[in-house]
Structure 1
Amino acid sequence: MATLGVHSEAGKLRTVMVCHPCLAHRRLTPANCESLLFDDVMWVERAREDHSVFTEWMRTRGIEVLEFHHLLEDVCDDPVGRDWILDRRIVESEVGTGMLRELRAWFQEMPAKQLAELLIGGVAKSELPFDPRGLFGAYLERSDFVIAPLVNLMFQRDPSAWIYGGVTLNPMFWSARRKETLLAAAVYRFHPRFAGQVKIWWGDPDRDHHAETLEGGDVMPLGRGIVLIGMSERSSPQAITQVARSLFAQGAASRVIACQLPKERMVMHLDTVLTFLDGDFVCIYPEVVNGIRCTSLFPGDAAGEVRHERHEEPFLSVVADALGVGSLRILTTGGDVYETQREQWDDGNNLLVLDQRIVVAYDRNTDTNRKLRQAGVEVIEIPGGELGRGRGGSHCLSCPIVRDPITW
């Protein structure tokens, strides 16, 4: 079994974690999708088929694919793991006092597979096997959620982020996503595949991180001790400083480059506008990437200190210099001005790299995919019509667990 750790963005991918569309997505409606951070409702059956195409392509390339539902089911089958989750999920601050005891008892006796499904898929008032009492129970309509569905858990990139030999457990920006990190933490803590092997760099789902928010789509370990982290709508400078401090203190990284992004939905994370196709080859949305300004964080002179260096040079020049490659080869989003904007919106620059210059892309981004092929990149196309409705491509759909360093 390979040692856990992600040592680049484009080295050979060995193990990846995914989460297929499920019950949660059957609960999406035109009325609630916006509050659940989706742009539209999903054709769930087709999305599941398309997700299977994605995972099967990876398996045919020899990649170990871990399905989050199955991992969580195994944790729920462990009485200690089940209690750990329920102690943190079924609490007064979430479900009130009137139904707390009965809800906990129902979940306590539930088969592991059903419990895992409901922890991800949510529970409506109408599905409870008892009459919910208390103010919260009376307040809810029958179709309202007692446990909200985690529809964004299919975007496994965000709740946790592997950086070299360890992982961050990310305090998410939107409340609709925060429970995802709790479930990820449970898997890393209790599942036999991970228990006792996972080094946590930063993040604790038991703690209120306040303004320190971080999401994995902003995090990119590049190799040579360098980490890129986007300062987006969802990842704050406060969190980035804490992550850098922890990485430096444990000798896990030598430089963190914080990249300031516009706070716009089309630029949700750094990985929505930038993919490393190889160690020195990037695919970018130039309208945003060419305007990024960045600051490098280094270990300070005293223990626990972080030194900041603000850069006036273009972002990609800073990255190239940090990697010691002189300059980066750049491929931009394909098409004319209209197609470029459309393909950016449809995640044309959000690509999972399976190995150097081998990527998984949505089939709908025809112009960008053509440019990639012309540049010598192998493009594996998967259907993107349904999977992309939550605004995320193959990079977002995946959490690499084991990835090799780049072969320079």
Structure 2
Amino acid sequence: MGHMLNTAFDNRVEKDSLNKYPLNVTSEIGALKTVLLQRPGGEIEYLIPDYLEKLLFDDIPFLPAIQKEHDFFADALRKRGVEVIYLEDLAAEAIEKDEIRLQFIEDIIKESCANNETAHQQVQEYLMNLSPSELIRQVMNGMLKTTVDNKITKDLYDMLDQNYPFCLDPMPNLYFTRDPAAVIGNGISINKMDRTARQRESLFMDYIMKFHPRFNSSNIPIWYNRDREHSLEGRDMLVLSKEVVAIGISDRTSKKATEDIALSLFSRDNQVKKVVAIEIPKTRAFMHLDTVFTMVDRDKLTIHPAILGPDGKMDIYMIESEQMSGLKVTRRNNLLEVLKEVLHLRDLVLIPCGGGDPIAAAREQWNDGSNTLAIAPGVVVTYDRNYISNETLRSYGVEVIEVLSSELARGRGGLRCMSMPLFREDI
């Protein structure tokens, strides 16, 4: 596999620190040292018009071009000293042992469309004959009912919906690694995804944390589990500082999940003191908090102005620990004032998407103009297509590294969406 060498500890990351804390994210802007990506693969080729809505796509990317753009993104990070590792490689390494691989197959079939007993047995037999890397790739790609020289038999084909081509659905959203899990401090949230098409994605991270030698011996705290009742997605989670986490209450993340993870953080982590819950419009253009609001420097954030209500007000909930009731919730309505308070800043700059122009802002917001990935304070990676937002960032003194984006943007997510920081330097 082409990325296997990236799973070794990179000499650009201080080994002693990584051995002690394999995960560390205490801000959105600390120097990025290790990041998890997933290069788009064969799953993209299984996107067809009849099932785009089911698989949460608006269009069909061209695979060679989207891979080229993703490689450009990964190389841009490496040139800045970031260790890039791949979800596919970690997952394959986590299921090297036969008993773990069998359990993974059981779990993936149970959570997929092959729920008939005969179908279950035949898919299991087929998958067990694959190597760990072949298995992970097959599961990510999805599996047609007619797969591999009739080894999946006509009986299986007839038992399932004859008009539906897959016995295992493809996972074309996997390159958005930020959603299924999110690192907070030295722990991780393994998320309950809201949409059916994406719920299996967090299973990979669950196995990686339990069985991969890079992580499983470190007693990593799990702040939220994928088997929880209420949906929570990583792009709604921003680590503003060691003490403060912002969570978007959105179309994909529920208010109850926000309360649940707040309780978990307060009871098990001695650093997080506040969770700032921010309600955002529940529409496709404002899918997650990080599509409308990201941190780019110690005192600068990008924002899409349309999330602000009349007079700049919106529904914000300051959640803190309280000994008697568990949580103390205070309602606020001014985002700028709340952010200055929790970041202990006298002044804070909100940099508008599209330079504040209503047409440019709407157009570039559709292509994630506010979705920046900070790799150090005041240094961000963005899509090249959002040229007005990029020039606006530069006018505020932010260094902007542009990435090719014609095909990547078709998935309706930006560069923060498709990157999961595992280790950042503290600031």
User: TM-score normalized by structure 1?
Assistant: 0.94
Cα displacement (A) at 1:182: 0.9
Secondary structure of 2:401's aligned partner:
strand
Q: 1:247 is matched by which residue type in structure 2?
A: L
CA distance in 2, matches of 1:263, 1:132: 43
Higher mean Cα deviation, 193-202 or 159-168?
193-202
Query: Does residue 318 of structure 2 align to residue 296 of structure 1?
Result: yes
Secondary structure of 1:70's aligned partner:
helix
1:147 to 168, 183, 208: 168
The corresponding residue for 2:71 is 52
Asked whether the equivalents of residues 242 and 271 of structure 2 are also in contact (C-alpha less than 8 Å), the reply is no
Asked whether the equivalents of residues 243 and 274 of structure 2 are also in contact (C-alpha less than 8 Å), the reply is yes
Asked whether the equivalents of residues 84 and 186 of structure 1 are also in contact (C-alpha less than 8 Å), the reply is no
The corresponding residue for 2:146 is 126
Runs of 4+ in 1 over 4 A off after TM superposition: none
Trace 1:219-230 onto structure 2 (pairs within 5 A).
Answer: 219-230=237-248
The corresponding residue for 1:263 is 282
CA distance in 1, matches of 2:134, 2:112: 24
Distance 1:93 1:280, change over 3 A: closer
Q: 1:249 is matched by which residue type in structure 2?
A: S
Higher mean Cα deviation, 108-117 or 123-132?
123-132
Trace 1:196-207 onto structure 2 (pairs within 5 A).
Answer: 196-197=217-218, 199-205=220-226, 207=227
The corresponding residue for 1:110 is 130
Cα displacement (A) at 1:395: 0.3
Asked whether the equivalents of residues 166 and 201 of structure 1 are also in contact (C-alpha less than 8 Å), the reply is yes
Structure 2: state its 5+ residue gaps.
1-14
Distance 1:132 1:194, change over 3 A: farther
Asked whether the equivalents of residues 294 and 371 of structure 2 are also in contact (C-alpha less than 8 Å), the reply is yes
Query: Does residue 385 of structure 2 align to residue 364 of structure 1?
Result: yes
Q: How many residues align?
A: 400
1:176 to 197, 205, 219: 197
Secondary structure of 1:348's aligned partner:
coil
Distance 1:255 1:23, change over 3 A: same
Query: Does residue 373 of structure 2 align to residue 352 of structure 1?
Result: yes
Cα displacement (A) at 1:137: 4.2
The corresponding residue for 1:161 is 182
Cα displacement (A) at 1:280: 1.6
CA distance in 2, matches of 1:329, 1:92: 45
Asked whether the equivalents of residues 358 and 377 of structure 1 are also in contact (C-alpha less than 8 Å), the reply is yes
CA distance in 2, matches of 1:92, 1:215: 18
Structure 1: state its 5+ residue gaps.
none
Q: 2:174 is matched by which residue type in structure 1?
A: L
Distance 1:137 1:317, change over 3 A: farther
Higher mean Cα deviation, 333-342 or 250-259?
333-342
Q: CA RMSD in A?
A: 1.7
Secondary structure of 2:200's aligned partner:
helix
Trace 1:9-408 onto structure 2 (pairs within 5 A).
Answer: 9-91=28-110, 94-95=113-114, 96-127=116-147, 129-133=151-155, 137-141=158-162, 144-197=165-218, 199-205=220-226, 207=227, 209-210=228-229, 212-250=230-268, 251-289=270-308, 290-302=312-324, 305-312=326-333, 314-335=334-355, 336-406=357-427
Asked whether the equivalents of residues 145 and 152 of structure 2 are also in contact (C-alpha less than 8 Å), the reply is no
* 1:140-164 deviation digits (Å, cap 9, x = unpaired): 3376111111111100000001111
CA distance in 2, matches of 1:130, 1:233: 38
* 1:114-161 deviation digits (Å, cap 9, x = unpaired): 111111111010115231536x74333376111111111100000001
CA distance in 2, matches of 1:200, 1:142: 44
CA distance in 1, matches of 2:242, 2:370: 24
What percent identity do the matched residue pairs reach? 32
CA distance in 1, matches of 2:175, 2:414: 11
Distance 1:46 1:291, change over 3 A: farther
CA distance in 1, matches of 2:111, 2:191: 23
Distance 1:132 1:163, change over 3 A: farther
User: TM-score normalized by structure 2?
Assistant: 0.90
Secondary structure of 1:354's aligned partner:
strand
